[in-house]
Structures are given as C-alpha cells and as structure tokens.
Structure 1
Amino acid sequence: MISTYPVVSGRYLINGDWKESNETSNIINPANKSEVIGKVGLCTEEIVNEAINAAANAFKLWSQSEIQDRVERMKAAAWELSKIIEENVSLFVRENGKTLVEAKKDLLRCVEVMNGGADELLKWWNPELLQGNQKVQVRRRARGVTAVITPWNSPMILTFKRVIPAVLAGNTVVVKPATNCPLTIMTCLKVVAEYFPPGVINIVTGSGKMIGDKLCSDSRVRTIAFVGSTQTGKDIMKKSSGNLQKVYMELGGNDPAIILEDANLDEEAIKRLRISILKAAGQVCSAIKRVYVQESRYVELVKKLKKEFERTVVGDGIQPDVTMGPLNNKAQYDYVNGLIERTEKAGANVITAGIQLNPEMWDQGYYILPTIVTGVDQQSEIVRAEQFGPVIPILPFSSIDEAIKLANDSEFGLRASVWTENEELAVEMADRLEAGAVFYNNHTIFSDLALDFPGLKESGVSRETRHCGLEFFADSYGFAN
C-alpha cells in the first residue's frame, strides 16, 4: 500500500507553479477498488484559460530559443527522469493496472523519446535546399500553443510522444491527462518541466469535455494532439474547425490478423499472437481485435491459442508473477463484460482461460479472464466493435480475397498483420489492406520510436513520420531567391 500521495496529487501546473485545486476526485487502484492512489484536481474554465495564457506568453521567447539550447535542456531532463523511473513503476501499475514489466517498459520509452527526439531535431531542423532552377530553401518554425490530450490506456508513452516533439520544435504545451490515470504522467513531467522556462509545459486536469471545449475554441491554441476514441476525435474536429487548428489524432482501431494456410503456428508464433491480443489486457488501440484464419488451420489455431491463454496469470500487476492485469476502470469493465454476455446470449461459443492469481480478491478488481469467441460472423457485435479488452473473436476464411474483404470491412484502419511463410505474398496482401501499417508474422509497434504511421479511415488524422513527430508540431515554409 502507498502511505502517502504523490506530490502532484490534486494539483495542476501553470507557468512553473504547482497549485492546489479547490476540488478533487479520487484515483483508485483498478486491481483493488478500495485503495485510493491519490487525487486529481478538477480545474475550472478560468484555470484552463490561465494555462493557455501562460503557454501563449512563454511561446514568444521559447520559439526563438537556440536549437542547441533545446537539445541540451531535453538531454539533461531525460537523464534526470531516468533516475526516477524505478521508483515510479509501482505508482504507474497502481493507477493504470498494467503489469510491472509493461509499466517499466512504458516509462523507459519516455526517456528514449526524449533522447531520440533531441537527436532528430539536430538532423531535421536545418534548412533543406530543394533542387530546381530557383534556389529554394525549406525552413521550419514553431506553430504556437499545443494542446496535448491523452487517454488512460497507455498514458505515458502517448503523452511523451506528443509533448516532447512539440516542445523541441519550439512550441509551448497545455497537457490534459486522463482524469483517472494522471499521477505518473504529472510526476514525470514535473521533472521535465523544471528544465524548461516557466510556461513551456503546463498541465490541467478535470473534465475532458470542458477542457477540450476550451482548448478547441481558443484561437491561441494552434495545434491539437489527441489520442482517444473516434467519436471524441470527430467532436474535436468540429470544434476546432472554427479556428482551423491543426489536428493530429490517433483514434480507435479494430485490427485484423490474417493467418494463412502455410503460417508457422509453433510455440513462439502463438506466444507472439497472445501478446499482440492481450497486452495491457487488450486495452491498446493497435492490439489484435479480430483473427481471420484459413479454414484448414481453424481448429488447430483455436486449440493452440486456448492453451496459450491458459498460461496467462491474471491479477494485481504489482505481483511479479502476473502476466495480465485488470481493466483500468469500471466503465470499460462493464462494457467488455456486457459485450461478452450479449455475444454468448446470441449463440456464440465463449471460451475463458487463464489463472486467477488470488481468487479471493477477484471481485475487488476489474478483472476479466482472457476470452476466445468462436461461432460468430462478420456482422456480430464482437467483430464489429473495438472490444478494448482481453477478448478475441476467431473466424475462418476460405480464400485470400475473402480474408482481405473481411479485414477491410470496418470503419477503422489502424494496423493489420499477415501471418505466412511467404513474405512476397504478405507484401502483396499489405498493398490491399486498408491499414496505416501492416506487420509480418507479428503485430506490434515500431521498435524505432522515431517512426510512426497514421491510421486510415476513422483511425486517425496525421501523416507518416520519420523524426519522432517533429513534423506535426512545426510549420514548413519556403525561402526563395
């Protein structure tokens, strides 16, 4: 148990000052609903406006700062943050529900983003001379105040992948973390903010709708970086249109995995498949959420995946033996349970597997065992929806054309994967799949965090990047003579 709250508990950051919020709400441990981890401040409209003011004022000087100065500050902040990673892993587990391994990996990636972004800035910021009859330079400049709105499922890396390039590009930021999981973000950003002038990094917490409305309606906010649901993304697009703000969005996903007849389904491949489905209890936009398998391998795959799921140890992520933690919050827990119940009532075959680490504590947390669903079709709710939980439907297909048609039959287009021994065929299929990225015999993230690719359709609004996202937070302009 944590005996004291983190120093950021119930506070917000404006212009370098951490201020106490008059109103707060509790942040609970999803593995033990009786444990309060800390408080989250409920900021008012006046406070949000104060944060925008601070960011706008700080932008005037920060946008004119030397590139080398930004790099040195970021490198120093990264070094300082690296020294407190270990002591904050348990805090992240307790407020988010990840396992110790998942939590530590996310925190270390934040340091990696800081160092990598600083290195990329030195490569990318320099003027680029275009070839042609006229001498034309492509030059970059900061955009202005950036709003960073991030979710509860992977809050650390998703926040840092936006805050860090925005600041390095010369912008100032107003960060709005998820209300039920803000403490580790704020603790880490507290360390980072101390290496930058007051007002460069500001943090407000509370009502997502109110804060989102304020950020989208203020003409001083020039960029909105949002990660969350597709519906909220649509609302932000509408609200930001009045000021023609630049929007950078990573939204929902319903990622398909296509397993062909010649796929290698050995122990290692099945393990990769399991991790791609159950990481963070399935609460990942780019997790596998639908599996299509060639009918000749259908029975084999279901049997092997069930056996792999049976090894999953579900419990409080703070326990080192746990390989899957709880869902993050009651709303998501109720939604996933309801989805499973409706699917079973509709006649599907629902297979639960896994080990309850502490059965006597099971009802104290938002726990759901890994679940395989068979006997459903393409129009079933469990196939159409973004489950965002440890549940996976498996459907057979007879031909590659059918598999591609089924995989593309979704409003989402975030990621996809093809599992086959024929890499040339996998490339051909990737050209036909409507996804921002297609993985071969795996379904993961890019190991190089400088790389990213946008989702298609309703899965996002952005463009591919090779420079840690710096492109999203700067304007390019031409200088000609």
Structure 2
Amino acid sequence: MTTGWPDVSARYLIGGQWRKASDAATVHNPASTREIVGEVALCTKQDVAEAIDSAADAFASWSRSELADRANRMSAAARELQAVVEQNVPLFVRENGKVLVEAKKDLLRCVQIMAGGAEELLEWWHPEKLESGAQKVQIRKRPRGVTAVITPWNSPLILTFKRVVPAVLAGNTVIVKPATNCPLTVMTFLQIVAAHFPPGVINIVTGSGSMIGGMLCTDPRVRTIAFVGGTETGKEIMRLSAGTVKKLYMELGGNDPALVLDDAVLDADTVQRLRFGILRAAGQVCSAVKRVYVHESRYEELVDKLAKEFGRVVVGNGIQPDATMGPLNNKSQFDFVRSLVERAQQSGAQVIRAGRKLNPETWEDGYFMEPAIVTGADQGSEIVKEEQFGPVIPVIPFSDADEAVALANDTEFGLRASVWTADEARAAELADRLEAGAVFHNNHTIFQDLHLDFPGLKESGLSRETRHCALELFTDTYGFAN
C-alpha cells in the first residue's frame, strides 16, 4: 500500500540540488507494517564524497556571511515552516509511530529552535573583552568548518534541528545523515529550510550508517561530528575521528533512574508525571525513566498506583486521536524489548501488563506493546542493566538514601535522573551525588527552555551544552590581543 509519498522520497540533497537515487529502501508505518510511507535513498560513496565537496566549497563564503543575514534567513525559514507544521504531522506519525500530540510538539519545537537561535546569535556572538594591565584581549568566535549531523529514529526532528540550526547560524556548512527508519519528515522540513540558504550550506545523504559515517569521520575537511545514538556507535565514531582530531558533540545512551523517597507525595498528579517520564514516545527516549528505585515503605503503594496509571494508557495507531501511546518504531527494537521482558520472566521476575488495546483486531499489524511494570528483578538483572528503550519499567525497593544513590549510580550511563520527595532541599542534596547530566525534582522531563540542554556524564555523552542554543559547540574561540 502506498499513499501520499512525500517529495523527498528516495531523494538526497547535494549542492542545492535534489537528486533521485538509483537504489532505495522502503520506510514502513510501524502501526501498520504493510503500509509503505515512502522510500529512503541508498547513497553511494560517490554521493557522500560529493556532499563533502559541496559543503567544503560552500563554507568559504558562508563562513564570512553577515550575522544579520544568517539570522534573517533562519527567521524566514522558521516562518515558512510554521505554516506547514499541521499538514506534516500525519507524515511524522506514519513513519515514526508517535501519537498526534507528541508528533505535533516535536514539529513545533523545530520552529522554536530556529526562531530562538536566530535571536540568540546576534547577542551571543559579540566578542568578550578582557583587560590585564596594559594589554587588551578579546575572546572572539569563528565557525569551525564542515559539520556532520547524524541523528536517530526515535526523536529525529528535534534532535536534528538542535544541531543543524546552531551549526548553520554559526557559519558552518552541514551534511545531515538521518536514520533510515524515519527520515522523511526530517527531510521534508530541511527541504524548506535549505531553500533559504545558499547551495551547499545544507546537504543530506541517507543510507548505510557505517559507510556514510566512516567517510564523514575520516575526511579531514569535516571538522565537527554531532551524533545522537547508541553508545557503542559513539565509541566507533570517536575511534574513526581520532586521526583528524575532530570536535565531537555526542548524546549517547541512557539508563535513567528515578528515586522515590519515603516522603514522596504519590497523588494522582505525581504518579501521572512519573508515567509520562517512563512512557513518553512508548519509552523510546534516551532520557526517559528506565529504572525506578522506591523506598521499601512505599514500594507496594507505588507499584499499585503506577499499575493503575499504566492501565489508563490507550495503545494504538498514533494517527487515531484516542491513542495515547503508539507502537515501537521498528522490528529490531520491538523484538529486543519483547525478548528482554520474556527473559526477565524466565529469570523469576513478575510482569504486570496494563493499558488498553485501541484496536485489538489490528494489534498484530504493528509493533504494539502493552506498557509493563517488572517487579522482583534485582540490580544485576539484564532488564535493570540494559537501556530498555521501550514501554517497560523495573521497580526496585531500597532501604535508605545512601543505598538508592549507590544503585542509581551503578551504571556506565549518566544522562538524566530524578528525585521524588516532598523536601526540595533533600532533592538538591541527592542531586549533588547523582552521576547525571541533569536531575529533576518531582518530574522527569525535558527543559522547557529549548536553549538549555545538558548532555550526559560517563558513557552518555560528550560536550557540555548548557545554553545559547548550542552555538558554542559549533564554534572555535580565539584570543585577539593589542
């Protein structure tokens, strides 16, 4: 079945020209796998080489462009994109699986990132003046060069735009490599954005991650790699990039803990926030709650309330307004999560399945899973140690705060964490001890200000973006003295 294929289907962008691929793969709807949403081009090595050439050639002039010109172009692109958000929501739902509300938020955030970044640029770029005796020093900024942006399938819009927008505003040129499982809406949006910039400023190649990534990581003209994805892939990017000492900006895996203390207020609103922190996008969020540690005195209460809250979830095709959770995005992830739960049961854990099937008769047509709570799993079990990346959560009791912190930090990851307590001072004290890039109190979400982000510690990321729309990650600074 094929309906409404987008213009970017089986195409890629080099030097301002959209080219038709000689070879392509199909993109399927994860809620109805027989439906083909479009095709993704399988670029060749020659295509990738030409994309690098295009970006390198365009950098010479774009890097010297006026700040106001960059900001104006981005603002104009944001206005055009704003006008087409609504009509592109169904495309994103069909290729990604998110429900309508979640999908629309992601698309709108792209516009916010563009508009906010354009405004931020003019203020942030000013030189910083330092004085030391008779010598006057300015800390000045300049773009780095060609930037590769490699993004995943789970939240491709916002994760791509949070890197492409500041890179381009800072005067860099970019080569975007979207995930083959979910590239079409990203490319549709970038088609609009790229038209506002000179040819070669934004290029897009799709296909083999290992081939394209390998070429981008080893070409000396590519000076920055911005990657979001799995930790093992991130380590390979580090290895390949070492030969040319590239600047790396990487958001990698997470196994986020939520600590529910003995004084936590477990009312309906709080438990709902915890459910959102676990099940947003069917749990396919690197910064979602992956482990819940609850004080032993509140263990049974939390499990019971969380199971009832999970029971309110309506699982179905995201295009249907009544669905509150969609399918997993692809078969590989679906099989992984399902087998993870099965192995947990085989090892003696108990699985509480909840939620309602919106359309039981078509349940097997997509990668649907009921949300599940796992009890009886210990700290060393696979379902606790692994990043599940699906609608399943292990709940583990602890006896005191020191044990909770030790359990939370017992992982190679350090992306996000949350502390659930009635005492804000107590939450802040524990936050100082948790090994995470950001800690939330009585919530587990994203920053409302999209200029803010805090990539993780340990094996969860590199480069500490904190504000300024990430402009600092795509520039070099240098001192000018007189």
TM-score, scaled to structure 1: 0.99
Deviation of the 1:131 alpha carbon: 4.1
In structure 2, C-alpha distance between the alignment counterparts of 1:454 and 1:274, rounded to whole Å: 23
In structure 1, C-alpha distance between the alignment counterparts of 2:230 and 2:429, rounded to whole Å: 31
Deviation of the 1:411 alpha carbon: 0.3
In structure 2, C-alpha distance between the alignment counterparts of 1:186 and 1:454, rounded to whole Å: 25
In structure 1, C-alpha distance between the alignment counterparts of 2:12 and 2:370, rounded to whole Å: 37
Query: Is residue 109 of structure 1 aligned with residue 132 of structure 2?
Result: no
Deviation of the 1:286 alpha carbon: 0.2
Q: Which residue of 1 aligns with 2:49?
A: 49
Q: Which residue of 2 aligns with 1:338?
A: 339
Deviations 1:226-279 (A, max 9, x none): 000000000000000000010000000000000001101000000000000000
In structure 2, C-alpha distance between the alignment counterparts of 1:2 and 1:73, rounded to whole Å: 35
1:89-108 counterparts in 2 under 5 A? 89-108=89-108
In structure 2, C-alpha distance between the alignment counterparts of 1:297 and 1:363, rounded to whole Å: 37
Q: Which residue of 2 aligns with 1:180?
A: 181
Deviation of the 1:180 alpha carbon: 1.1
* Residues 418 and 439, structure 1, Cα contact 8 Å, conserved in 2: yes
Query: Is residue 415 of structure 1 aligned with residue 416 of structure 2?
Result: yes
Deviation of the 1:52 alpha carbon: 0.4
Deviation of the 1:4 alpha carbon: 2.8
Query: Is residue 435 of structure 1 aligned with residue 436 of structure 2?
Result: yes
User: What is the one-letter code of the residue matched to 1:432?
Assistant: R
Deviations 1:340-374 (A, max 9, x none): 00000000011100000000100000001000000
Partner-residue secondary structure (3-state), 2:132? coil
Q: Which residue of 2 aligns with 1:209?
A: 210
Q: Which residue of 2 aligns with 1:255?
A: 256
Query: Is residue 148 of structure 1 aligned with residue 149 of structure 2?
Result: yes
Q: Which residue of 2 aligns with 1:16?
A: 16
In structure 2, C-alpha distance between the alignment counterparts of 1:288 and 1:3, rounded to whole Å: 36
* Residues 24 and 41, structure 1, Cα contact 8 Å, conserved in 2: yes
In structure 2, C-alpha distance between the alignment counterparts of 1:456 and 1:147, rounded to whole Å: 22
Deviation of the 1:3 alpha carbon: 2.6
In structure 2, C-alpha distance between the alignment counterparts of 1:420 and 1:132, rounded to whole Å: 48
Deviation of the 1:2 alpha carbon: 6.2
In structure 2, C-alpha distance between the alignment counterparts of 1:423 and 1:136, rounded to whole Å: 42
Query: Is residue 457 of structure 1 aligned with residue 455 of structure 2?
Result: no
Q: Which residue of 2 aligns with 1:225?
A: 226
Deviations 1:91-143 (A, max 9, x none): 00000000000000000000000011111101110111124323110100000
* Residues 465 and 472, structure 2, Cα contact 8 Å, conserved in 1: no
Partner-residue secondary structure (3-state), 2:81? helix
In structure 2, C-alpha distance between the alignment counterparts of 1:175 and 1:210, rounded to whole Å: 14
Query: Is residue 270 of structure 1 aligned with residue 271 of structure 2?
Result: yes
Q: Which residue of 1 aligns with 2:446?
A: 445
In structure 1, C-alpha distance between the alignment counterparts of 2:442 and 2:132, rounded to whole Å: 43
In structure 2, C-alpha distance between the alignment counterparts of 1:14 and 1:126, rounded to whole Å: 32
Deviation of the 1:299 alpha carbon: 0.3
Structure 1 residues 256 and 131, CA gap change in structure 2 (3 angstroms): farther
* Residues 249 and 473, structure 2, Cα contact 8 Å, conserved in 1: yes
In structure 2, C-alpha distance between the alignment counterparts of 1:381 and 1:3, rounded to whole Å: 41
Q: Which residue of 2 aligns with 1:376?
A: 377
In structure 1, C-alpha distance between the alignment counterparts of 2:4 and 2:117, rounded to whole Å: 34
User: What is the one-letter code of the residue matched to 2:75?
Assistant: K
* Residues 3 and 37, structure 2, Cα contact 8 Å, conserved in 1: no
* Residues 326 and 368, structure 2, Cα contact 8 Å, conserved in 1: yes
Deviations 1:51-97 (A, max 9, x none): 00000000000000000000000000000000110000000000000
Deviations 1:411-433 (A, max 9, x none): 00000000001111111101000
Structure 1 residues 257 and 156, CA gap change in structure 2 (3 angstroms): same
Deviations 1:171-201 (A, max 9, x none): 0000000001000000000000000000000
Deviation of the 1:452 alpha carbon: 1.1
User: What is the one-letter code of the residue matched to 1:163?
Assistant: V
Query: Is residue 386 of structure 1 aligned with residue 387 of structure 2?
Result: yes
In structure 2, C-alpha distance between the alignment counterparts of 1:408 and 1:273, rounded to whole Å: 20
* Residues 370 and 390, structure 1, Cα contact 8 Å, conserved in 2: yes
Query: Is residue 127 of structure 1 aligned with residue 127 of structure 2?
Result: yes
In structure 2, C-alpha distance between the alignment counterparts of 1:62 and 1:103, rounded to whole Å: 33
In structure 1, C-alpha distance between the alignment counterparts of 2:477 and 2:37, rounded to whole Å: 44
User: What is the one-letter code of the residue matched to 1:383?
Assistant: V
Deviations 1:408-458 (A, max 9, x none): 000000000000011111111010000000000000111001111120000
In structure 2, C-alpha distance between the alignment counterparts of 1:419 and 1:356, rounded to whole Å: 30
* Residues 465 and 471, structure 1, Cα contact 8 Å, conserved in 2: no
Query: Is residue 352 of structure 1 aligned with residue 353 of structure 2?
Result: yes
Following TM superposition, the consecutive aligned residue runs of length 4 or more in structure 1 with deviations greater than 4 angstroms are none
Query: Is residue 302 of structure 1 aligned with residue 303 of structure 2?
Result: yes
Q: Which residue of 1 aligns with 2:70?
A: 70
Partner-residue secondary structure (3-state), 2:33? strand
Query: Is residue 405 of structure 1 aligned with residue 380 of structure 2?
Result: no
In structure 1, C-alpha distance between the alignment counterparts of 2:157 and 2:58, rounded to whole Å: 24
User: What is the one-letter code of the residue matched to 2:105?
Assistant: K
Aligned residues: 481
In structure 1, C-alpha distance between the alignment counterparts of 2:463 and 2:447, rounded to whole Å: 17
In structure 2, C-alpha distance between the alignment counterparts of 1:324 and 1:40, rounded to whole Å: 26
Give the percent of matched residue pairs that are identical in Structure 1 and Structure 2.
Answer: 68
Deviations 1:201-234 (A, max 9, x none): 0000000000000000100000000000000000
Deviation of the 1:8 alpha carbon: 0.3
Partner-residue secondary structure (3-state), 1:458? helix
In structure 1, C-alpha distance between the alignment counterparts of 2:379 and 2:37, rounded to whole Å: 41
In structure 2, C-alpha distance between the alignment counterparts of 1:398 and 1:76, rounded to whole Å: 56
* Residues 299 and 397, structure 2, Cα contact 8 Å, conserved in 1: yes
In structure 1, C-alpha distance between the alignment counterparts of 2:320 and 2:237, rounded to whole Å: 39
Q: Which consecutive residues of structure 1, in runs of 5 or more, have no partner in the other structure? A: none
Deviation of the 1:282 alpha carbon: 0.2
In structure 2, C-alpha distance between the alignment counterparts of 1:163 and 1:454, rounded to whole Å: 17
Q: Which residue of 2 aligns with 1:425?
A: 426
